[in-house]
Amino acid sequence: MTFWFITGSQAMYGEETLRQVDADSRAIAAGLKLPFPVVYKLTAKSNAEIVQIIREANYDDDCAGIITFCHTFSPSKMWINGLNLLQKPWLHFHTQFNETIPNDEIDMDYMNLHQSAHGDREHGFIGARMRQPRAIVAGFWKDPAVQAQIADWQRAAVGVQFSRNLKIVRFGDNMREVAVTEGDKVEAQMQLGWQVNTWAVGDLVKEMNTVTDAEIDALMQEYAALYTYDEADADTIRYQAREEIAIERILKREGAMAFSNTFEDLWGMEQLPGLASQHLMHKGYGFGAEGDWKTAGMTAVIKAMYPDGAASFMEDYTYDYSRELILGSHMLEVCPSIAAEKPRIEVHPLGIGHKAPPARVVFEGKAGAAKAVSLIDAGGRLRLIVQDVTCEKPFQNMPNLPVARTMWRPEPSFREGLECWLRAGGAHHTVLSYDISDDTIRDWARIMKIELVCINAQTKPEVLERDLMLGDLIWHR
């Protein structure tokens, strides 16, 4: 993925000034130390040039977004036709080539060349006038804090590109009677690009029956490198390997990066996929239990933004009021990317689903700041709810709870955090991410044009309640 750097100017400054603008723009683009490369494309001087470069950006699958900057004044009516066509994420970078104002050197020629304070205001006006979704970053281009803000937007833009191509495979439907995991898949495809479709569990079982011992041997070696286990459990673990290989074959065949399943539809399967789903998440696939395709999709999107990050499908289970902690876990499927230390595969009975005791990876989640992310269908719109949480090392070893687990405290306080979450309609399923920043989530939601509700240290319950009512006005419901 690359990002295109486009500088705004106009022809009236003459060749010499434009040559300097070109050279400075090249230096700025090359000087940005970001997770994804920035390529300087051109200094645009006319409506036709801007339309042309934006058409090219739209059709280039490798271009994840455009960054614009007006070194000089660039009259914005020149930008209207191009911006009307723009389909890629846009960041307006309000910077300046020089950090300080030189005392002796400054004259009217200098002012004409270094006038983004002036030109970028014209550029900002047209973005606001056209109500174009855009990130705005202001500051000196060499400043690490400025570059970090652009990096956050790049992650969001990569998430946008990924989202617009995301396919989600559902094995079985929803857990019966559950509301929050339902949702409008047509709306999700229109807003997020997600293609959500179903595949028969019987066909998955057919696929499982064609998995070879050699394939299972190879996957067992991968497991052995990542996790510890007892040789006595090998047969049960091999069955999970068979499930994983079959699921991944179908995902690859369909070009899908996320999947959901449900313990209520395991026709012909001996074990609920535990280890299988956990290791697939570890490899970057999104997962949602009980038919939860929305959390499966969000897990995949966040993993695409942070390929080496820590993110998992998660469920809020039980409270400890004395320590003000939530125990987060699931009956099996938590991603080992959030583990504090080398996880262990164990085999235990499961009191639900009426199948054989499944192998699962057991571990404690790591401590640190994180966010719980929940995508819900609010009726007529999708709402993304993001809560700041602090994960702590579980204070008990819970010998009779052999599942992956973590504990966290929500913002703005334990009780208010829970009240705000329920007020906003947040699900019991979330993505727990240790990497995603406020800027990234806000950039992503803005580009996707979905409602965003952030619950953090600054949140006041009464303001949140009013914001939710304003959301109903904005989305006409």
Tokens of 10: 């106009």
HEC per residue, the chain: CEEEEEEECCHHHCHHHHHHHHHHHHHHHHHCCCCCCEEEEEEECCHHHHHHHHHHHHHCCCEEEEEEECCCCCCCHHHHHHHHHCCCCEEEEECCCCCCCCCCCCCHHHHHHCCHHHHHHHHHHHHHHCCCCCEEEECCCCCHHHHHHHHHHHHHHHHHHHHHCCEEEEECCCCCCCCCCCCCHHHHHHHHCCEEEEECHHHHHHHHCCCCHHHHHHHHHHHHHHCECCHHHHHHHHHHHHHHHHHHHHHHHHCCCEEECCCCCCCCCCCCCCHHHHHHHHCCCEEECCCCHHHHHHHHHHHHHCCCCCEEEEEEEEEECCCCEEEEECCCCCCHHHECCCCEEEECCCCCCCCCCCEEEECEECCEEEEEEEEEECCCCEEEEEEEEEEECCCCCCCCCCCCEEEEEECCCHHHHHHHHHHHCCCCEEEEECCCCHHHHHHHHHHHCCEEEEECCCCCHHHHHHHHHHHHHHCCC
- State the Cα–Cα distance between residues 148 and 352, nearest whole angstrom: 46
Nearer to Mn ion, 290 or 377 (CB): 290
Q: Shortest distance, CB of residue 175 to Mn ion, whole angstroms? A: 8
User: Which one of 284-292, 319-327, 350-358, 413-421 is the stretch in contact with Mn ion (CB under 5 A)?
Assistant: 284-292
Nearer to Mn ion, 178 or 250 (CB): 178
Q: Shortest distance, CB of residue 275 to Mn ion, whole angstroms? A: 17
Nearer to Mn ion, 120 or 315 (CB): 315
Nearer to Mn ion, 74 or 430 (CB): 430
Nearer to Mn ion, 164 or 428 (CB): 428
Q: Shortest distance, CB of residue 326 to Mn ion, whole angstroms? A: 14
User: Which one of 6-14, 133-141, 312-320, 438-446 is the stretch in contact with Mn ion (CB under 5 A)?
Assistant: 312-320
Q: Shortest distance, CB of residue 92 to Mn ion, whole angstroms? A: 41
User: Which one of 71-79, 165-173, 257-265, 289-297 is the stretch in contact with Mn ion (CB under 5 A)?
Assistant: 289-297
> Cβ of 252: how many Cβ atoms within 10 Å?
10
Q: Shortest distance, CB of residue 311 to Mn ion, whole angstroms? A: 17
- State the Cα–Cα distance between residues 401 and 332, nearest whole angstrom: 11
Nearer to Mn ion, 152 or 315 (CB): 315
Nearer to Mn ion, 65 or 297 (CB): 297
Nearer to Mn ion, 34 or 401 (CB): 401
Nearer to Mn ion, 261 or 337 (CB): 261
Q: Shortest distance, CB of residue 428 to Mn ion, whole angstroms? A: 7
Q: Shortest distance, CB of residue 207 to Mn ion, whole angstroms? A: 25
Nearer to Mn ion, 289 or 464 (CB): 289
Q: Which amino acid type is present at position 456? A: N
Q: Shortest distance, CB of residue 178 to Mn ion, whole angstroms? A: 9
User: Which one of 20-28, 285-293, 388-396, 403-411 is the stretch in contact with Mn ion (CB under 5 A)?
Assistant: 285-293
User: Which one of 80-88, 186-194, 224-232, 310-318 is the stretch in contact with Mn ion (CB under 5 A)?
Assistant: 310-318
Interaction between residue 403 and Mn ion (CB under 5 A): no
Q: Shortest distance, CB of residue 278 to Mn ion, whole angstroms? A: 14
Cα dihedral sign, 285-286-289-291: negative
User: Which one of 94-102, 297-305, 309-317, 436-444 is the stretch in contact with Mn ion (CB under 5 A)?
Assistant: 309-317
User: Which one of 58-66, 177-185, 246-254, 315-323 is the stretch in contact with Mn ion (CB under 5 A)?
Assistant: 315-323
User: Which one of 83-91, 313-321, 384-392, 448-456 is the stretch in contact with Mn ion (CB under 5 A)?
Assistant: 313-321
User: Which residue of 28, 269, 289, 455 would you call a contact of Mn ion, by CB under 5 A?
Assistant: 289
Q: Binders of Mn ion: how many residues, by CB under 5 A?
A: 3
Nearer to Mn ion, 139 or 353 (CB): 353
Let me know if 19 is exposed, middle or buried by CB neighbors in 10 A (0-12, 13-18, 19+).
exposed
Q: Shortest distance, CB of residue 352 to Mn ion, whole angstroms? A: 10
Q: Shortest distance, CB of residue 407 to Mn ion, whole angstroms? A: 18
Nearer to Mn ion, 102 or 351 (CB): 351
- Give exposure, 308-323, as e/b (b: 16+ Cβ within 10 Å): ebbbbbbbbeeeeeee
User: Which one of 56-64, 246-254, 271-279, 282-290 is the stretch in contact with Mn ion (CB under 5 A)?
Assistant: 282-290
CA 414 to chain centre: 25
Interaction between residue 57 and Mn ion (CB under 5 A): no
Q: Shortest distance, CB of residue 251 to Mn ion, whole angstroms? A: 21
Interaction between residue 315 and Mn ion (CB under 5 A): yes
Does residue 412 have a cis peptide bond before it, meaning omega lies within 30 degrees of 0? yes
The residues that touch Mn ion, with contacts defined as CB under 5 A, are 289-290, 315
